[in-house]
A and B are shown apart, each in its own frame.
Chain A
Amino acid sequence: MTATNVARGVDRASAWFDVDKVRADFPILKQQIRGNPLVYFDNAATSQKPQAVIDAITRFYSTDNANIHRGVHLLSQRATAAYEAAREKLQRFINAPESRETIFVRSTTEAVNLVARCYGARHIGAGDEIIISAMEHHSNIVPWQMLCEEKGARLRIVPITDRGELIMEEYERLLGPRTRFVSIVHLSNVLGTINPVKEVIRLAHERRVPVFVDGAQAAAHLRVDVQDLDCDFYAFSGHKLYGPSGIGVLYGKARLLDEMPPYQGGGDMISTVTFEKTKYNVLPYKYEAGTPNIAGAVALGAAVDYLETLGLETVIRYEAELLSYLMKRLAVVPGVRLIGTANNKASVQSFSIEGIHPHDIGTIVDEQGVAIRTGHHCAQPLMDFYRVPATARASLSFYNTFEEVDVLIAALHKVIEVFK
């Protein structure tokens, strides 16, 4: 693409998306870092929070705070109503059929552990196989490894191409008589690959194998419809979705959640307790032992409201143009190797620069106010696949601008100058 075309791309995006107006909603973006305006390109690690989310937390603790599902007093009723209203917002956000299938958890990581432990307890045995892919985050590897070790089961890995796409023929070959479960990432945190999860699920279901989808990255950057995907489980974290940390969602089909044993015992997850026998509560409370992160859930509801007000489809379209611009600019920086060049991508670009360690890149661009992630991104097997110790990664959000991409590119030229 020529410079003129790139410039026209900027004009096109700014014509229908008022990024300055959106940026004003995020107080943290107004600051300077080491004398330069902050350029926040670490959105895949965690997103920044709009004022609406910050206000929701303040409002909850200032006016509605009480424990939920317990008191007969008005405050407890208000807190309970706010918490359950948030659940319904999240249910609609992913188009789950019923709110009882939307369980509040701490994070995507907790959701994977919950499913590995509770589904695995009854359905995985010696010699059984669990399929994951080569591009999984450690949190979608380790819980399954722990389960396999405990049960004598075997972890099978779907390989990927050099561009970072699943090799679907290999996946089909791996699906066999011993396959009991498939767990797959929707949007890769390192490669930005959007996996064909609907097809992955369809093929697994042909063999009556349930599928968990790790939506940690996807929930903020793709439209998620759990009924359309027909996934059995789907999980994401609030903090990558412009909400607070310490809150996340596990969606599961009621049929499966009902027959699985509980994850943790405690208050709220019980119906009756005697010292002889405890009867567990119904969904979703069966999986929400103890006082949950009430304010976190309420604020996550506010984050989803904010995103839907902006228009998720608008956001997705803008982020796609921004990513395309980033990839084009990065590709022509001398010595840069793009890692993750799948056809179907969103929001994330990893790269390396020949002869320069990613941590040195990260430190020097930070001096220019640019926050990128450097390291293995909790995906060491993927680093081994690309034969790199680590990568640099720029991950975008709708509040980022084309000008910020230019700042990153200039900072990378500075890196190259220092190490020339």
Chain B
Amino acid sequence: MSYFNELYQEVILDHNKRPRNFGELPEADCQADGNNPLCGDRLTVYLKIDGNTVTDVRFKGAGCAISTASASIMTETLKGKTAEEIERMFRKFHAMVTGKTTPSAEATADLGKLAVFEGVSGYPVRVKCATLPWHTMLAALHHSDDTVSTE
């Protein structure tokens, strides 16, 4: 197996081709735009929040396979989670894709499907592609009006 298959996992290719929770969320409580000037990736993340819990999340935009799949899988992961749970999850995700945690069953166990992005750590220039949807989502969560940029 050649190395790039560790990056372009089947799950990632599938989410790229058929992104879940794609489109606007008219009843969103908050939203934020993100862009990666280097790649030309642009996306908007919409959140519906009840108290401290995210009840619905959608995204739209255009980007590379890694950022599209990351956004898609992220939206599947967030529903029903509190802001604190989401931030804890992002810290783990970030540590994994930047190679700061040794890949192990323990480290990625509670990341669930997000573990498919482990291969990103071997491609430092692609880390921003995987994290852009998360930074954008966190900006929406914190009601930041600024557009998030990876640069």
Contacts and interface: CB of A to CB of B under 8 A. Distances in A.
Interface of A: 34, 356-360, 363-364, 367, 374-376, 383, 388-390, 418-419
B87 to A, nearest CB: 27
Contacts of A358: 39, 64
B38 A375 contact: yes
Contact of B39 (A356, A375, A418): A375
Interface string B118-138: 000001001001000000000
Interface stretch (B3-11, B48-56, B94-102): B3-11
Contacts, number: 50
Residues of B in contact with A, size category: 20 to 34
B29 interface: no
Given A359-B129, A419-B13, A376 B65 contact: no
Contacts of B3: 34, 367
Contacts of B38: 375
A363 B122 CA distance: 11
B2 interface: yes
Contacts of B123: 363
Contact of B126 (A356, A359, A390, A419): A359
B40 interface: yes
A141 to B, nearest CB: 15
23 contacts: A357-B39, A357-B41, A359-B64, A359-B129, A360-B8, A360-B65, A363-B4, A363-B7, A363-B123, A367-B3, A375-B39, A375-B40, A376-B40, A388-B40, A389-B41, A389-B42, A389-B62, A389-B63, A390-B39, A390-B40, A418-B8, A419-B16, A419-B17
Nearest to A390: B40
B66 A360 contact: yes
Contacts of A418: 4, 8, 13
B144 to A, nearest CB: 23
Contacts of B41: 357, 389
Interface in B1-50: 2-4, 7-8, 13, 16-17, 37-42
A33 to B, nearest CB: 12
